[in-house]
Structure 1
Amino acid sequence: MPTLLLVRHGRSTANTSGLLAGRTPGIFLDDHGTAQAAALPGRLAPIPLAAAVHSPLERCRQTLAPLTRARPELPLYAEERIGECDYGDWTGRKLAELADEPLMATVQQHPSAAAFPGGETMRGMQNRAVEAVRDWNERIGREHGADATYLMCSHGDIIKALVADALGMHLDLFQRIHVEPCSVTVIRYTPLRPFLLRLGDTGDLGSLAPREEGAAQGPPAAGSDGTAAVGGGA
């Protein structure tokens, strides 16, 4: 089964102004986020990608723009199901104001019970995102082979929810996970279990590149055959 690179979009103007952007149109990367996106092709250069899938929102499209310019042959697809959570009436409000809302305690401590007024439930958000990944895993594996790697550019809560699913964690624990803007989280899916290879990585990704034939190799990479590396692996 394929390996998935989950890229959170670069830092946005909403991030720096403390707004809960949600699905608000017209939210773009700030200058720092633009620089983060510009560095992404270099970070991913050693990794062959079968496809790039993205949330339809502008900040995700903008994050992938330098990558698609560097790799014009890379197939690019929009996927509604990995779009930002629908925060309903909370959309566009200051996070500092929302901290006093009674619902915030549920969002923080019991997110599986959280339902945003006029929006969706956090449980529904996770379910649609997981379903999207399952569908794309099947498609990428069918079209590009079981060893293929592909990328999804999405949002913080979506990525955290997907990591929780991969780790077999209840959604109520997903607030313990943190991913920085333009970080890369890597999940290798196998028939037995998923393996979390990176979480919120903002540095070099060269060790994820395929090993060259004939090169000296240690034990199989963790998760390459669905078996965990006993003792921690190489």
Structure 2
Amino acid sequence: MIIMKIESNCHTLKPELILDIELLGDNKVGKKSIIESLVDYEFDKIYRSFLRKYNFKLKEYEKNDGNYLEKKIKTKKLDCIVRLHYCKDSLNFKNTSIDGIILIFDLTNKMSLKFLLKELYPRVEKIFEDTPMIIMANKSDLKEERVISKKVCKLISKMLNIKTFETSAKYGYNLEKGMKTLVADILKSDKVKKNRKLNQLLKRYKNLKLLNGHKAMQAANEKCEEER
């Protein structure tokens, strides 16, 4: 596996599908640390078992509007990029075209859970009603400082009907399992299935050289609507 840093040349990648995943949570819950753990070389060794049928190349880059992790995934049936990003103020996030959400709270800070339940989740649920999401209860390695019990985590998961994972960004614990679950749910979602179908049709029309770019997209959309 290869880890490399790229700047503005990321537009040269031409995957079949790009999946955007937003990390949301209160300040200092570990949003940036989770992303940094995912691109760290040592943690990359742990990631080799992640969705075994996939092969990964990790790419990290920064933009003015936040930090991104770009992960190129190749499978027998699908080429895609998974892109993780976050903003410091989770209540003012502007990216409404995302494919998945990771809600995060800090196991050592009750206020971070209160923020998630009272302010963040109600807004996210309203804006992204059918978007796949998981919860990461982060900093599970700080056992002596922990103030939120496993029982409470299970209760939150059941109450919101969202899969919840106790994680440690420091040691990479459960990040793999959480990501595997979320990406699998995204790939099964209606939105992604439609986008994959669109790309397949668009490629077919362009290969036949029957339509230019705009008309090919229009024809692909019409075909998708017919098949619904």
Give the TM-score taking structure 2 as reference length. Answer: 0.29
Q: Tell which has more relative contact order, 1 or 2 (C-alpha 8 A, sep 6+).
A: 1
Q: Which one has a bigger Cα radius of gyration?
A: 2
